[in-house]
Amino acid sequence: MTRSRDAVSMPLVVGVLGLGLGAGLVVVGGRVMLSRQAALARRRIGKPLGENALDADRIWRRGNEGDPVELLVLGDSIAAGLGAQRRKDTLGARIAKGLARRTRRPVRLRTAAVVGAESSVLEAQLDGLPDDYRPEVAVVVTGGNDVTHRVPVATSVRHLEAAIRRLRARGAGVVVGTCPDLGALRPVPQPLRTLGSRLSRQLADAQAEAAERAGARAVSLRHAVGPFFVTQPDEMFSLDRFHPSALGYRRTAEALLPAVVGALEERAAVSRR
């Protein structure tokens, strides 16, 4: 799979500073300071994980009875599971295993997420699926790269909503994990971190509204798992201190799982009518 730009390249100063200037939040002196802080963040983070997530696509819990649940995961590096050292610890695998336990059915995971993807790439991820593929439930996690690459909220949300509607047209229940709080990234100095936090929260709120309009369920990752990343950074982040660790993905999957089960059950109920 071809990998696009990764958020660990940290063009955060471009996105955050550009939006900040548009709102009249900083002056020339502040711009210089934020530029230096972004350079510092890039040095601190680097790219120790490379740009490829582990391939976790397979049928999980084959010993369960019944046909496999078709689970699709779309989005960015978090959705792809970058940072996990074992495929069973990726976000998709964690959700698949949890879903298999809850449904007592095997789960076939398909990951279309791409490291570094913005919300605009969701269309290409869907285009790459076989025409006859019909996921029963889909999980979408995106937004961090939209913030760091200065994508307007309205543009980002438009792409997300279009992807949800396409998934719904395929018959899938859809769950959206909204943009994580970039304020949890300790390698990013202040006040750059605060600006990133504000912008990511704005996007997350808009994503939740778009998900509801399009018939999806939204899970606020900032509320559900954000506090863990703030209070336990050494355990929740991977080597680059930017992407989740195995524990970070476990917590994130646990936060998403109830909505995933609910979306699957709702889909089944509609099919029985």
What are 48-100's pLDDT values in tens digits? 455 679 999 999 999 999 999 999 999 999 999 999 999 999 999 999 999 99
**What average pLDDT does range 238-247 have in this prediction?**
84
Q: What is the rounded average pLDDT for all residues in the chain? A: 84
Please check whether residue 217 lies inside any domain of the structure. Answer: yes
Q: Give the CA-trace dihedral at 57, 63, 65, 70, to 10 degrees.
A: 0
Read off the pLDDT of each residue in 102-124 and give the average, rounded to a whole number.
97
Residue 105 lies in a domain: yes
- Report the number of distinct structural domains present in the chain: 1
41 occurs within a structural domain: yes
Look up 243 and say whether it is catalytic: yes
Closest Cα partner for 192 from 234, 248, 233, 148? Answer: 148
User: 134-138, 180-184, 264-268: which range is least confident on average?
Assistant: 180-184
Helix axes of 153-169 and 192-214: crossing angle, nearest 10 degrees? 30
Out of 89, 146, 181, 240, the active site residue is 240
Cβ atoms within 10 Å, residue 61: 17
The CA-CA-CA angle for residues 83, 160, 138, to 5°, reads: 60
| E strands, 112-153, in order | 137-141
Determine the Cα–Cα distance for residues 40 and 20; give it in Å rounded to an integer.
Answer: 19
Q: What percent of the chain has pLDDT over 90?
A: 63
Q: How many angstroms separate the CA atoms of 180 and 189, rounded?
A: 17
Summarize pLDDT for 166-186 with one digit per residue, the tens: 999 999 999 999 999 888 777
Q: Within 13 A of 252's CA, how many CA atoms are on the CB side?
A: 34
Share of the chain above pLDDT 70, in %: 79
pLDDT greater than 50 at residue 37 = no
Q: Tell whether 1 is covered by a domain.
A: no
Distance, in Å, from the CA atom of 253 to the CA atom of 46, rounded to the nearest integer, reads 26
Residue 146 appears among annotated catalytic residues: no
Are the CB atoms for 92 and 115 separated by under 8 Å? no
The verdict on residue 47 lying in a domain is: yes
DSSP type of residue 198: H
Question: Which of 77, 119, 156, 238 is labelled catalytic?
Answer: 77
CA distance 38 to 153: 22
Q: Is the pLDDT of residue 255 over 60?
A: yes
Q: Is the pLDDT of residue 40 over 70?
A: no
Checking if the pLDDT of 25 tops 60, the result is no
Q: Give the whole-angstrom CA distance, residue 257 versus residue 273.
A: 25
Strands 137-141 and 217-219, sheet pairing:
unpaired
Could you tell me the CATH number of the domain that includes residue 236? 3.40.50.1110
**Active-site residue (options: 6, 146, 243, 245):** 243
In a domain, 2, yes or no: no
- 79 in a domain, yes or no? yes
Q: Is 101 within a domain?
A: yes
Structural domain harbouring 128: 7-272
| Residue 240 bears catalytic tag | yes
Query: At residue 1, does pLDDT exceed 70?
Result: no
Residue 173 φ/ψ, nearest 5 degrees:
-75, 145
